[in-house]
Homo-oligomer: A and B are copies of this chain.
């Protein structure tokens, strides 16, 4: 019999708890609420979205706490930051598998699509190595017009 879905969050939860424990930090009520909020969100969300969700779990969570928790969630691999040069950044709750992702960004409807781009990892490493650099991370973003927008009047002319 498979584990109930809620176990996922609990397993991730202990991963997060040990991450902060290792750093000598504390598992506060607010911090854990932000964590749970992240687990409850899908797709790209903003810090503000996360705040709203976290507030729903614990009314005492403040915006400052969100911004202070984000680096911890990123550092523990619970979430990933997606910066496509807009006014605010996006976040994405990671599923288990951590494959290399690129962003396909529709210039018309502004949708952001995460796509697997495993080859990129190799290519980025190769580019870095060619210049004697030790690669850490990489980002590939393709701006384009999505299928739907090609077939209709542009939303942002």
Query: Which A residues contact B (CB, under 8 angstroms)?
Result: 83, 85, 102, 104, 106-107, 113, 115, 117, 119-120, 123-124, 127-128, 130-147, 150
Contacts and interface: CB of A to CB of B under 8 A. Distances in A.
B140 A145 contact: no
- What number of copies of this chain does the assembly contain? 2
Contacts of A123: 117, 119-120, 123, 140
Contacts of A128: 104, 142, 144
B138 A140 contact: yes
B134 A143 contact: no
A146 B131 CA distance: 8
A107 B139 CA distance: 14
Contacts of A130: 115
